[in-house]
């Protein structure tokens, strides 16, 4: 990277503006180094004052696959407050007006200081971020999901005919200070991003775990990063894994003996706090990733069907079929029946990460999806009466997905206010799980032609998984997706546990 590409004549413009460039052919650089971050600089500046935060000067090169179509490059700042101070960081980068001619190329994004010759670290150890243009849908390495979100967009081309595409990179925990960024460099090159099955919604490569044995796997749960898993067996034991399902340890609660009818299990985001329910029994909890368990004597006995947890494991909600809906705010020590929810044939429940949004399913006559936005205190009936059997929530509770027996998978993007059937096939669905962002969904069904389906676009489209690699002739009740969406685990009922990372 030569400094011959840069030009540092001062520019006196003080208005927010877009830097327009062209995407280049392989090994040719785009340099965008004059930009303004729209943000409030400090507490002593007025909001909406029209002021911008200026970061350097520069010019751009214009050759390339985009031809005469100019790109828009829009960096934005993120302000992170602190006691008596705060700091602006490089919060996001948006690039738009990319023509279809640039499909199948990778672009590599780097940031430089005014005088530095080495690219700065964007996150982790990454100094050059690759982005792949897959016909207008953009992807990066799936291992970067904990550092950023990448969203694609499309709109009519500006200055050219047809549809153009774009993307926004938003850094989840930005570390590069805005004052240290003077140049953004975009270099196009050969494709190095390999799309996994999660990104293309095709059949994944699954690992069959025989070490845990062939059992009646009834439910699974995962830590946010997918390293810690817990699985329960109907008429059996509890098993945990700390290596994403490669090996498993029997963690049957002491004093209970074996062969309890474990029915549902949930996990905190770090995998330390677990809670499991017994059909025609009570609730057990663990605070050490399942190494030991405590019978919560304050939990009522009943035909428990489902349990869910907030990300910190303090707020729990569980349902008894044909009876009540219960919540706990102390990790399961004490329980309160939510009388406003009523006595119903509850079969499934899910929670937002903060525990404020709950969605619970009731099948058949008088059924529906019931929603609470105040941690279970009040409830509103949503969706039509169907044979609802499972429900899954995104982390913020806005995106919901629910299965219906001998019907379709239904979706809501507004916390359950409205619902619509997805493009899933009509099947005998048994289970469903969601990643935190609601983009990745996995659904299981009664034994049939295909047993597991995944969606990577919030349920818009679905892909059947090859039944020769996950499931054989068994029902799929146990499913989980790690919060970051990088691992899926499925348990056969009278079979094995399968995992995939794409």
Q: What residue segments make up the domains of the chain, in order of their start?
A: 3-194, 199-500
Question: What span, in angstroms and rounded, lies between the C-alpha atoms of 225 and 49?
Answer: 41
Residue 7 in 3-state DSSP? coil
Nearest residue to 393 (alpha-carbon basis) of 423, 367, 422, 371: 371
Q: Are 482 and 501 within 8 A, CB to CB?
A: no
State the distance between the two ends of the chain, measured CA to CA, in whole angstroms. 35
For each of the chain's 502 residues, which pLDDT tens digit applies? 434 333 333 223 333 333 334 444 444 444 443 333 333 222 222 222 333 333 333 333 333 577 778 888 888 888 777 666 778 899 999 988 888 888 888 888 999 887 778 899 999 999 999 999 888 889 998 788 889 999 999 999 988 899 999 999 999 999 998 888 888 888 777 788 888 777 776 778 889 999 999 999 999 999 999 999 999 999 999 999 999 999 999 998 877 767 899 999 999 999 999 999 999 999 999 999 999 999 999 999 999 999 999 999 999 999 999 999 999 999 999 999 999 999 999 999 999 999 999 999 999 877 899 999 999 999 999 998 999 999 999 999 999 999 999 999 999 999 999 999 999 999 999 999 999 999 899 999 887 656 889 998 899 989 888 766 776 567 899 999 999 888 999 999 989 999 998 7
Rg of the chain over Cα atoms, rounded to whole angstroms, equals 25
Phi, psi of 222, rounded to the nearest 5 degrees: -135, 150
What pLDDT is attached to residue 423? 94
Give a three-class secondary structure readout of 138-203.
Answer: EECCHHHCCCEEEEEEEEECCCCCCEEEEEEEEECCCCCEHHHCCEEEEEEECCCCCCCHHHHCCC
DSSP state, residue 365: T
What pLDDT is attached to residue 327? 98
Half-sphere exposure of 115 (CA within 13 A, CB side): 0
Nearest residue to 417 (alpha-carbon basis) of 369, 452, 376, 378: 369
CATH number of 199-500: 2.130.10.10
What pLDDT is attached to residue 436? 94
Question: What span, in angstroms and rounded, lies between the C-alpha atoms of 228 and 23?
Answer: 42
* 44 contact partners, CB below 8 Å, separation of at least 6: none
> Which residues pair with residue 32 across a beta bridge?
184
Q: What tokens appear for 407 in the block?
A: 């019907």
Q: What tokens appear for 66 in the block?
A: 């985009």
What pLDDT is attached to residue 25? 41
* 53 contact partners, CB below 8 Å, separation of at least 6: 36, 37, 38, 39, 41, 77, 88, 178
> Which residues pair with residue 165 across a beta bridge?
98, 154
What pLDDT is attached to residue 143? 81
Cβ-defined contacts of 255-261 (< 8 Å, 24+) = 255/295, 256/284, 256/293, 256/295, 259/235, 260/235, 260/236, 261/234, 261/235
Q: How many residues are there in the chain? A: 502
Q: Are 293 and 302 within 8 A, CB to CB?
A: no
Can you say whether the dihedral through the CA atoms of 415, 459, 136, 125 is positive or negative? Answer: positive
Half-sphere exposure of 197 (CA within 13 A, CB side): 20
């Amino acid at each position: 990277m030569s400094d011959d590409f840069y030009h540092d004549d001062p520019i006196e413009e003080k208005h927010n503006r877009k830097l327009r460039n062209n995407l280049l052919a392989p090994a040719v650089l785009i340099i965008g180094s004059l930009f303004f971050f729209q943000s409030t600089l400090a507490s002593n500046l007025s909001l909406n004052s029209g002021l911008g935060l200026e970061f350097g000067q520069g010019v751009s090169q214009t050759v390339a696959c985009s031809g005469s179509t100019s790109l828009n490059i829009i960096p934005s700042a993120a302000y992170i407050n602190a006691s008596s101070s705060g700091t602006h960081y490089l919060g996001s980068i948006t690039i738009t007006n990319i023509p279809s001619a640039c499909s199948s190329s990778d672009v590599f994004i780097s940031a430089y200081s005014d005088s530095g010759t080495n690219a700065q670290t964007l996150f982790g150890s990454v100094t050059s971020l690759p982005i792949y243009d897959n016909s207008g849908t953009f992807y990066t390495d799936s291992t970067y999901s904990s550092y950023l979100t990448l969203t694609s967009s499309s709109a009519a081309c500006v200055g050219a005919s047809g549809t153009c595409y774009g993307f926004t990179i938003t850094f989840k925990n930005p570390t590069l200070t805005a004052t240290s960024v003077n140049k953004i460099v975009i270099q196009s090159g050969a494709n190095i991003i390999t799309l996994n099955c999660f990104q293309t919604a095709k059949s994944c490569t699954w690992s069959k775990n025989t070490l845990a044995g062939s059992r009646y796997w009834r439910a699974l749960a995962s830590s946010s990063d997918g390293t810690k898993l817990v699985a329960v067996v109907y008429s059996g034991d509890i098993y945990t894994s700390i290596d994403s399902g490669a090996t498993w340890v029997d963690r049957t609660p002491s004093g209970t003996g074996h062969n309890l009818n474990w029915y549902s299990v949930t996990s905190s985001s770090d995998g330390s706090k677990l809670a499991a329910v017994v059909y025609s029994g009570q609730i057990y909890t663990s605070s050490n990733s399942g190494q030991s368990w405590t019978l919560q004597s304050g939990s009522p006995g009943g035909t428990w069907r489902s349990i869910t947890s907030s990300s910190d494991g303090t707020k729990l909600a569980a349902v008894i079929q044909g009876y009540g809906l219960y919540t706990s705010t102390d990790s399961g020590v004490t329980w309160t029946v939510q009388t406003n929810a009523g006595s119903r044939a509850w079969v499934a429940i899910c929670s937002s990460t903060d525990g404020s949004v709950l969605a619970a399913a009731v099948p058949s006559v008088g059924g529906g999806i019931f929603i609470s936005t105040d941690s279970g205190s009040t409830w509103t009936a949503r969706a039509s009466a169907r044979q609802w059997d499972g429900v899954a929530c995104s982390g913020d509770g806005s995106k919901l997905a629910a299965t219906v027996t001998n019907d379709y998978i239904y979706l809501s993007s507004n916390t359950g206010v409205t619902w619509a059937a997805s493009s899933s096939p009509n099947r005998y669905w048994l289970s469903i799980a969601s990643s935190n962002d609601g983009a990745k969904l996995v659904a299981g069904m009664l034994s049939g032609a295909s047993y597991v389906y995944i969606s990577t676009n919030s349920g818009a489209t679905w892909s059947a998984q090859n039944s020769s690699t996950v499931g054989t002739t068994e029902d799929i009740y146990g499913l989980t997706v790690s919060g970051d969406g990088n691992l899926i685990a499925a348990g056969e009922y009278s079979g094995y546990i399968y995992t995939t990372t794409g």
